[in-house]
Amino acid sequence: MSGKLKEKVLSPEIESASISARRREVDDPGTQADRFDERILRALHAANEKKAAELTVLDLRDIASFTDFFVLASGANKRQVQAIADEVVEQLKRRGTRAARVEGYQNAEWVLVDYGDFIVHVFDHKARRFYDLERLWREAKRFDVTSNQLESEISNLRSEVSDL
């Protein structure tokens, strides 16, 4: 994506967060979950709080130019899919990151929340199987995230913030 187009599409907060996230990835290889910036961890945590199933992150940095990561989550029904999307948007908004756009919310088979350098996809189970982004983007590095891993990373994140 050209620099001029990126400036027009992304808000200043998203663009600066993207740059700082890329710098952090180069400076600190860390653990598997440390490869994701705080906003992705917060999105995963928000989805987990609403009992999302099959939390997965696809690292698209080497194969796509329009975004760096996909965050995938599943809900059991329309209400849960909407609740997961609402929680992700709300938690990130509270921390200063607004979504560039949200699509598919009313139908709630597949809700897409675009943050520029990462995109959150919340599916109902049937739509997730049908669209199968994991297969479509099989060249991407895939990270399946468990609740235990996520809680550990969030605890580490909280302790880092309190140390500042």
- Check which CATH number belongs to the domain holding 54 and give it: 3.30.460.10
Please state the domain count of the chain. Answer: 1
Residue 9 host element (H or E): helix 3-9
For residue 99, give its domain range: 3-158
| Domain membership flag for residue 163 | no
> Count of alpha carbons within 13 Å of 131, Cβ hemisphere only?
16
What was the pLDDT predicted at 46?
96
Please report the pLDDT score of residue 30 as a whole number: 42
Higher pLDDT, 20 or 44: 44
In a domain, 164, yes or no: no
pTM for this predicted structure? 0.74
Would you say residue 134 lies in a domain?
A: yes
